[in-house]
Structure 1
Amino acid sequence: MLTIMLEYVMAKWNLRYFLIACVIVIAIETIVILLRTKPFMMFPGNPSSILQKGWEGDLMLPSCRYTNEDRKASEVFLSCYVFIAVIVRPDGFENRNLVRDTWYKYFTNDHPLTELRFFLGTYGLSDSLLQDLHHEQKRHNDLVMLEGLLDSYHNLTRKTVMVMKWTSQHVNFTYYLKCDDDSYPFLDPIIGELQERTLTTRLYWGYFFINLRVRGHGKNQDPLWFLTETYTPFAIGGSYILSRDLIKVIAGFEQCLHLYPNEDTSIGLWLAPFQLERKHDYRFCRNSQPCPHNTLIFLGRSRKEMLSLFHFSH
């Protein structure tokens, strides 16, 4: 009788361990299945589109983090209050000379507060054009030639980011003034207003567009824009002013940014999450509207108009 009872207890005990083992095996298999399918559970939808966004192979996000370029202090060789970045084409010799001979001609002698550089891409340029650019650089020392950049209209957003990154690495500045080579700024009143500000941070100053519908056709069409039917507020790209901290943010995250075709709408989007002063100013005057007597920057002007503005103001 005792033997029968012992055999019964052992059978029950083995059954309990057997059931526990089954539960453990099922739990482990379930966890393995969940881990294998995690990307598709997090992002339901078409698996192929998910893989194209980075789930295939190593996930891209870990490398997408802010980099503090201030550590490269040894590379800083310019120091100024306002750094002026003029965006030009490689073959725009006449436009660069026009800037040198008009609105920036006398200003630099009276105001050591500014530094100006012309930015252009050099990828794919002919040997003769490169030689001309090196002669121009030897004479004026105000060109920044961005290697590896194909300088084209459709590459303008990438060029803008490269300019900001170069500026953040090589210039000690407080404010950044971006100009196209057909813009005519009056630097005295601009600097005067900047110096009146209490804070020197979080400034985004220009002529803003609000609730502009996404461009669906023409030279400025934005086929890659998928967020909203209208753009986030942005300052027109001909000329705008940013404080140093905002340049540092864009330059620091440059590997992570989605480069939309239009650089001005891209900047508006990149800065949209931040608490900052978006200073809309009608004195950044477009060529399609009447300009006030106290205009700060004339945008989109012809060579003749720029010469007239220079002679009128001097």
Structure 2
Amino acid sequence: MFIVLVKRYKSMILASIFFFYIGCGLTLSFLRLECAEAVSTVSSVNNKKSILHSNSEYIVLILSGPSNEEKRDAIRATWSKLSTNLFIENGEKLYKWNLTGSSPTVHHEFIKYYFAIGTLGLSKIKLDGLIQENSRSHDLLFLNELEDSYKKLSLKILLALSWISSNVEGLKYLIKCDDDSFVRIDLIVRDLEAFAPQMSDTVISEYVSYKENLPSYKGLYWGYFDGRAKVFMNGKWQERDWFLCDHYLPYALGGGYVISQSIVDYISRNADFLSHYISEDVSMGVWTAALKGVNRVHDIRFDTQWRSRGCVDHMLVRHNQTPSDMFLMYKSLVHSHGEKLCSSETPQHMLYRYKWNVLPSMCCKQYT
């Protein structure tokens, strides 16, 4: 009887089996798509943004962590708005304080902010949160092949620079900072427009020292340099693979520095050959050490040492700042029409001017 029924309903049974397997296959496919959907969205977001901002002349690259939304929001609400003080007149970019507490944010096409975040290994909840954040801010640069951690900061900046080199055609200068840095982006762009790459004008001579005065330069590396730092052999900054010498090569401290498009492209082209050290700023010093014709400029307005030197109104970057600190400085600037960064100025501890005409171990004699 059973065999008779099978023969009679053979076609129906085969059809049922066929559609069962089709259903299973579709279900598994949808599951795979759901797991990959967030990563695909990340890639499409990066591609979309690169097209929209391919002609940005100034990229502000802010290294951030997946869980640091509060810090990112503080930057969006404070110093990123300082670009409002820049405007274009007769083809030139000029500075004039134009910001009040209620001023709408002006998004200049020639300045683009990117918070670089590694997304490899993140949970779907965390990734969805970042995608939602980016849907309102449009400023996250997702590095899909990087698991975000302190020990991979050098790889992080390497991947970010490679992406920028490939996607931003009009780049002139890149301003790198951390998400706990307060940056006078308006004044940095003003000085770059007016003085770069020579950085030798009398207007800024009291703040800067540079290695050599050449008729022309092939690039700019601008920040607060150190050339006498000893190599860490243990602890958070331990460098297991360092073999070059007993001290780090001269480098601009990573709380904030500026590099030219020529350096960005050089690093991108040679990414596969470059060594990675624990500290990304140390790595940058090594990567650029052999480059000829790069103007290395030390500027005391970059407060980027391991401990803040205190607050002075002329500072361009202040590292190790909390979101509360950022709001206080922003409020002070708004109320003083850009004149006062600090509610009260404090002495600059450990300040030095870099001496480029001596060996690096003698470069950085401190004074107050």
Q: Deviation of residue 201 (structure 1)?
A: 4.2
Deviation, 1:130, is 0.9
What displacement does 1:106 show? 5.2
Q: Does 1:175 align with 2:183?
A: no
Which runs of 5 or more residues in structure 1 are unaligned? 1-73
1:293 Cα offset (Å): 2.7
Equivalent pair of 1:76/1:169 in contact (CA under 8 Å)? no
Higher mean C-alpha displacement, 109-118 vs 88-97:
109-118
2:237 is paired with a residue whose SS is: coil
1:262 to 275, 279, 285: 279
TM-score by length of 2: 0.63
SS at match of 2:264: helix
- Give the Cα–Cα distance (whole angstroms) in 2 for the partners of residues 237 and 124 of structure 1: 26
* 1:119 alignment partner in structure 2: 116
Name 2:182's counterpart in structure 1.
184
Assess if the C-alpha contact under 8 Å between 1:204 and 1:279 holds in 2. Answer: yes
Question: What is residue 53 of structure 1 aligned with on the other side?
Answer: none
In structure 1, what is the equivalent of residue 289 of structure 2?
272
Is the contact made by 1:75 and 1:169 (CA closer than 8 Å) also made in structure 2?
no
Which of 303, 307, 310 in structure 1 is aligned with 2:327? 307
Aligned ranges 1:1-314 → 2 under 5 Å: 77-105=53-81, 107=83, 109=106, 111-171=108-168, 172-197=170-195, 199=197, 201-275=218-292, 276-286=294-304, 287-314=307-334
Amino acid at match of 1:101: A
The 8 Å contact of residues 283 and 291 in structure 1, kept in 2 or not, is answered as no
Amino acid at match of 1:165: S
Aligned to 1:13: none
Give the residue type in structure 2 aligned to 1:278.
Answer: R
Q: Distance in 2 between the 1:113 and 1:240 partners?
A: 19
Deviation at 1:78, TM superposition (A): 2.3
Distance change in 2, residues 1:110/1:263 (3 Å): closer
How far off its partner does 1:81 sit? Answer: 2.3
Moved more, 227-236 or 198-207: 198-207
CA deviation string 1:25-45 (max 9, x = no partner): xxxxxxxxxxxxxxxxxxxxx
Whose helix fraction is larger, Structure 1's or Structure 2's? 1
Structure 1 distance, partners of 2:196, 2:240, is 41
CA displacement 1:141-162 (0-9 Å, x = unmatched): 1111111210000111100100
Note the alpha carbon deviations across 1:179-225, whole angstroms, 9 max, x for none. 10011111222111111236484100011001211112221111210
Shift of 1:101: 0.5
After superposition, the C-alpha distances for 1:98-137 in whole angstroms (9 at most, x for unaligned) are 1111101352517443111111011110111111111111
Q: Structure 1, residues 38-77: CA drift from partner, whole Å, max 9, x if none?
A: xxxxxxxxxxxxxxxxxxxxxxxxxxxxxxxxxxxx9684
Amino acid at match of 2:248: Y
| CA distance in 2 between partners of 1:265 and 1:168 (Å) | 21
Overall identity of the aligned pairs, in %: 33
Unaligned runs of 5+ in 2: 1-49, 85-105, 198-216, 335-368
State the shift of 1:88 in Å.
0.5
Distance (Å, rounded) in 2 between the aligned partners of 1:157 and 1:187 = 23
Moved more, 161-170 or 107-116: 107-116
Aligned residue-pair number: 241
Partner residue of 1:47?
Answer: none
